[in-house]
Amino acid sequence: MRASPNEQRLEMLERDFTPLLIACLQECAGGRWGLFDQNDSPKNRRFQQWNEADQLKHIANEIQNIRKEFGSSNPLCEKFLEYCSMRGGNVKGEPKLARQFLEQIHGT
């Protein structure tokens, strides 16, 4: 049986998501800010433009929307979006969050 267009799209998005996530997390862990939008004021966005991070967020949201249609979820995608929603004075900085997320992915 042939997969529906949404199933095909989801498969493509999820195939692209994980390697892009890991690459962005590694770059962020190395000191680059902007992956989780902690400093998302217009002034800071100008200096933190990061096309791959923007693409990653777009893919994550699209995966989440398609998965909702199927009544399922993608735990890695959900965890990434959860990290993107973290705000406040007690939240670790983005590089520390990225290292933490990488450790969770790699199970260390």
Query: What is the model's pTM?
Result: 0.89
* pLDDT tens, residue by residue, 34-79: 999 887 655 555 566 899 999 999 999 999 999 999 999 999 999 9
Domain count, the chain: 1
* pLDDT tens, residue by residue, 4-19: 889 999 999 999 999 9
* pLDDT tens, residue by residue, 16-33: 999 999 999 999 999 999
What pLDDT, on the 0 to 100 scale, is given for residue 88?
86
The whole domain housing 64 covers 5-106
Contacts 24+ apart (CB under 8 A), 79-88: 79/104, 80/21, 80/56, 81/57, 83/36, 84/35, 84/36, 84/37, 84/57, 84/60, 86/36, 86/38, 87/38
